[in-house]
Amino acid sequence: MWIILLIVLAGILAGYSLRMCAFLKKVNLTISCTICLMLFVLGLSVGYNPLIVGNLGSFGGQALLLSVAGITGSVLLARVVYLLFFKEGGEK
């Protein structure tokens, strides 16, 4: 766990120090393509596993509940953050 956090921190520090480099402007497209590829491979691994496919009905309900709860919590907390920090626009 600590190794993963240190790798993320190293990436943040490298990105902060290299933020003026022109080649980093193209990183967003690369990240989007990588995420799509990872989701595709995740779908392949789920489809390949007969235990998951056989119990998709029960797993699907739990996954739907967790997804809806996670999205609802994120939207509500984002609204709170918006009201606390970004509601007052304009120049002072």
Domain ranges of the chain: 1-48, 50-86
Please identify every stretch of the chain with a pLDDT value under 70, giving residue numbers as ranges.
Answer: 88-92
**C-alpha to C-alpha distance for 30 and 53, rounded to whole angstroms:** 31
The pTM assigned to this predicted structure is 0.51
Give the per-residue pLDDT at 72.
97
Give the per-residue pLDDT at 22.
79
Give the per-residue pLDDT at 89.
58
Give the per-residue pLDDT at 58.
80
Instruction: Give residue-wise pLDDT tens across range 28-52.
Output: 788 899 999 999 999 999 889 998 8
